[in-house]
């Protein structure tokens, strides 16, 4: 559905994205992750024909985004980072206007606009001025706009930014449902959101793709297999010093509260060090009130990849 080849964009000599290559298959929900300034918005704007790349090419549904931009755009709904909305238009009026711009015939317009209002939960605000809507509702208008011409591909640039937790849940559900019938490229900073909704994930860092895989494979790939938490009173022992000697423990951090030390152990991939930790605590006669292991999350993967080369 999307094919990107050697895509590069320079702004006034500064390279924002560098030789990107990836494909998004029909029906996929692809997560697009990266720290601030990584190049996500730049890539999405190029794919939406808002600006040309410096070099490289991309196709949408087989159409070149610049040579066949009209055909490519007919397949694509784009929700930009900052949804540009006309604040003095009413919701229905705005969606009608956008539908007309996108070439929807007058006789189909009422039906289409009605459908997207229904889908995005906009019925109760349809007659309100956009300027009077809350942030969450404005985001929904942006999403309805992206959907109104029935594209089979959606490019969503941080659709949940600035929303409260309830609204985030609602928009996430909406995206999941849309994913049943649409191909989606979704950028976000909320990693649990990606684990819950995406079939594959691209991690971009300083304009380069560092990883492109399923969330499960990414989790399997990183060296740290999550961590172990130990809460103990270690008497005259340092604790961290002894714990670090256990094979498989990469590093240990400590927080102390009310005489209890809370140790966070990062461990090597594939090992479970809890038995060793227990034996150590027993041998050293430490009081223990917690010993738990937790799996690596996508956040661990993200930190591992994007902090690996701190300059």
How many CA atoms does the CB half-sphere of 1 hold within 13 Å?
Answer: 21
Mark residues 185-224: x for contact with Mg ion by CB under 5 A, - for none.
----------------------------------------
Short-list 2, 38, 59, 78, CA closest to 209: 38
- Find the shortest distance in angstroms from Cβ 297 to Mg ion: 23
Contact call for residue 80 and ligand ATP (CB under 6 A) = no
Closer residue to ligand ATP, CB minimum distance, 18 or 149: 18
Contact status: 48 vs Mg ion (CB under 5 A) = no
Tell me whether residue 104 or residue 209 sits nearer to ligand ATP (CB atom).
209
Listed in sequence order, the residues at least 6 apart from 94 whose beta carbon sits closer than 8 Å to its beta carbon are: 85, 86, 130, 141, 145
User: Closest CB to ligand ATP among 41 and 92?
Assistant: 41
- Least distance from Mg ion to the Cβ atom of residue 15, Å: 16
Angle in degrees, CA 110, 114, 119, rounded to 5? 155
Judged by CB under 6 A, the residue of 29, 30, 31, 39 near ligand ATP is 39
The answer to whether 159 contacts ligand ATP (rule: CB under 6 A) is: no
Residue 190, token pair as written in the block: 């909320």
Answer yes or no: are the C-beta atoms of 288 and 231 closer than 8 Å: yes
Phi, psi of 293 (to 5 degrees): -110, 145
Contact stretch for ligand ATP (CB under 6 A) within 29-37, 84-92, 273-281, 288-296: 29-37
The residue (of 11 and 241) whose beta carbon lies closer to ligand ATP is 11
Stretch that binds ligand ATP, among 39-47, 94-102, 108-116, 270-278 (CB under 6 A): 39-47
Cβ proximity to ligand ATP, 92 vs 306, nearer residue: 306
Q: Where does this chain touch ligand ATP (CB under 6 A) — which range of 38-46, 135-143, 279-287, 296-304?
A: 38-46
| Pick 123 or 135: Cβ nearer ligand ATP | 135
Compose the 65-84 pattern: x for residues touching Mg ion by CB under 5 A, - for all others: ----------------x---
Residue in the structure block whose two tokens are 């929700």: 79
Establish if 36 lies at the interface with ligand ATP (CB under 6 A): yes
41 binds Mg ion (CB under 5 A): yes
Helix (H, G, I), strand (E, B) or coil at 2: strand
According to CB under 6 A, which one of 40, 98, 149, 182 is a site residue for ligand ATP?
40
Backbone angles phi, psi at 93, to 5 degrees: -60, -45
- Out of 25, 37, 131, 162, the only residue in the binding site for ligand ATP (CB under 6 A) is 37
- Residues composing the chain: 311
- Sheet strands (E) in 25-89: 29-33, 55-60, 63-64, 76-79
Longest dimension (CA), the chain: 81
Any residues with CB less than 8 A from the CB of 303 and at least 6 apart, and which? Answer: none
Alpha helical stretches, state H, 102-222: 106-119, 135-147, 165-178, 191-197, 215-221
- Rule CB under 5 A: which residues touch Mg ion? 40-41, 81
Q: Residues interacting with ligand ATP, by CB under 6 A?
A: 11, 16, 34, 36-42
């Amino acid at each position: 559905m999307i094919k990107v080849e050697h895509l590069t964009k320079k702004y006034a000599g500064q390279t924002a994205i560098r030789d990107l290559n990836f494909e998004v298959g029909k029906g996929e929900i692809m997560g697009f992750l990266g720290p601030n300034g990584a190049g996500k918005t730049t890539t999405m704007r190029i794919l939406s024909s808002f600006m040309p790349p410096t070099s490289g090419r991309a196709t949408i549904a087989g159409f070149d985004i610049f040579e066949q931009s009209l055909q490519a755009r007919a397949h694509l709904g784009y929700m930009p980072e900052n949804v540009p909305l006309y604040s003095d238009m009413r919701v229905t009026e705005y969606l009608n206007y956008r539908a007309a711009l996108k070439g929807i015939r007058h006789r189909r317009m009422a039906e289409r606009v009605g459908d997207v209002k229904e889908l995005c939960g906009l019925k109760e605000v349809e007659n309100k001025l956009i300027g009077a809507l809350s942030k969450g509702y404005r985001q929904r208008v942006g999403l309805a706009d992206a959907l109104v011409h029935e594209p089979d591909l959606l490019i969503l640039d941080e659709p949940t930014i600035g929303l409260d937790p309830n609204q985030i849940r609602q928009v996430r559900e909406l995206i999941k449902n849309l994913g049943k019938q649409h191909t989606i490229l979704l950028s976000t900073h909320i990693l649990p959101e990606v684990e819950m909704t995406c079939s594959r994930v691209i991690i971009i860092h300083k304009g380069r793709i560092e990883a492109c895989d399923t969330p499960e494979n990414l989790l399997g790939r990183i060296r740290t297999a999550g961590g172990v938490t130990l809460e103990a009173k270690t008497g005259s022992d340092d604790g961290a010093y002894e714990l670090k000697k256990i094979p498989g423990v990469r590093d240990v951090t400590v927080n102390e509260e009310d005489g209890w030390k809370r140790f966070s152990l990062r461990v090597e991939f594939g090992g479970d060090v809890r038995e060793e930790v227990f034996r150590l605590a027993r041998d050293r006669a430490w009081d223990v009130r917690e010993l738990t292991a937790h799996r690596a999350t996508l956040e661990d993967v993200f930190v591992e990849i994007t902090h690996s080369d701190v300059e």
